[in-house]
Structure 1
């Protein structure tokens, strides 16, 4: 009996590098971005540059929403001619209803195609690393069960730290008050956002941009310890800091896989351009 053909689905909060070799085998369902009466699909109808320019021009952070169950069901059905089984990896259910929409759709299409829906516990390059390992395992002949077990291990080990350049977008999105943002900017306080149990929480603070970048690397070192790791730098239009941050990261780690990738619009929209972060996990 032939092995089942396994495909990988993600939502558009997943981040991978532009030159990632599996890009044409990753099936991406877009998150919706709502500007007042206009709904756009992330990665399809709007670019990063256009998104940030529009937000700054209009002075409002758009709302985001997950694909609804029927959209997911149509997406899954469209892949049934290529695959027998799908592993559908999504942004943490703590931050979005995407996972629940995917679950409802998986039940609706069970007579057409088998879909395993997996909560990544995070998003961004964390999901990207999961997709990367899943596709490598498919090429090695692994079963869906073995892949899901590996994804669960990555989720348990995954660490994500982010820091915004300033609090302009956080203030507009309601994440901090206008007064709080003003005081923080006057005192040059830079927050560090940490992934904790599937939620992004402002856990640490630094007194400058460079100190925040150094602190994120130290925090990642403390969490990962010794041993091999996969590491990604993620950013939202922060080219000026990338060289310095990369030097910090590569002095601290000798990663098996090292990525630099843009941060998805739907995640970065609440923190703004200039946001930079580090994503990593122990591979053994």
Structure 2
């Protein structure tokens, strides 16, 4: 049997993970009063974003311990199963490193770790691809080889509504955030090969969505033959311009939509929306 595992930042809903037989290892979010919750399990997104908007200090996020992975890896070893783990980019979190430590402790050569080089829906794309390949009867080696190639084609672009969460997280100075608030500047952030970067900005949300669409086109465009996903934080309407672009401009079916969970949402803040897709024409 082939097991597939990921971490909670893939924002894979519990029911969907169970249906696809994917095990999810949660990260954690801790509020300033000490309350700690398992990402995707203990706190509904609606309640999380309400609490986030009221916080004076940004919640802290923490990776799973090696022990959390070790149990899953031992279970696979005892059953004689193979296991493929698709995990949050090692360039922004220690989650992958925790899994490496656990794998070295278990010392079982049928465990395959993949640094997804992405986050949230970007990694969910890889998890969903792994499931499809598993269900087609591909071997673990074949799946790992395909995922290692395809992960470099994954793109994640998002419009962020409020810069204060980037400021609170130390990603912007107070002056930059203040200027953004006064001028109505909305950033577009992107993720490629494991890193998060500012890829565009515009005055007002409509302009930011246009900047996102331009970036999508400049980066090779979306491969319409592969899965693409749309996500949002707190406000469902934030993703509507992206859906309209997919349907009206690219003449594609509407994307599946997901509510982004607490760990990623801590840094993006309420009102963000984004799209994850495979770039077209990439080697």
- Secondary structure class of the residue paired with 2:52: helix
Count residues in correspondence.
Answer: 279
Residue number in structure 1 paired with 2:239: 242
- Structure 2: 5+ residue runs without aligned partners? none
Aligned to 1:178, which of 174, 180, 185?
174
Mapping for residues 112-123 of structure 1, pairs under 5 Å: 114-123=110-119
- Tell me how far 1:40 sits from its aligned partner: 2.0
- Secondary structure class of the residue paired with 1:194: strand
Q: How large is the RMSD of aligned CA atoms in angstroms? A: 2.4
- Tell me how far 1:55 sits from its aligned partner: 2.5
Matched, 1:11 2:20: no
Structure-2 separation of matches of 1:234 and 1:55: 18
Q: 1:141 to 1:229 in 2, by over 3 A?
A: closer
- Structure 1: 5+ residue runs without aligned partners? none
- Secondary structure class of the residue paired with 2:268: coil
Moved over 4 A (4+): 17-22, 79-83, 254-257
Structure-2 separation of matches of 1:81 and 1:23: 23
- Tell me how far 1:38 sits from its aligned partner: 3.4
- Tell me how far 1:126 sits from its aligned partner: 1.4
TM-score normalized by the length of structure 2: 0.89
- Tell me how far 1:231 sits from its aligned partner: 1.7
Residue number in structure 1 paired with 2:190: 194
Mapping for residues 1-284 of structure 1, pairs under 5 Å: 5-16=1-12, 20=16, 23-36=19-32, 37-80=34-77, 84-111=81-108, 114-225=110-221, 228-254=225-251, 258-282=255-279
TM-score normalized by the length of structure 1: 0.89
Structure-2 separation of matches of 1:221 and 1:230: 17
Q: Say whether the 8 Å CA contact 2:69–2:98 is kept in structure 1.
A: yes
Q: 1:18 to 1:27 in 2, by over 3 A?
A: closer
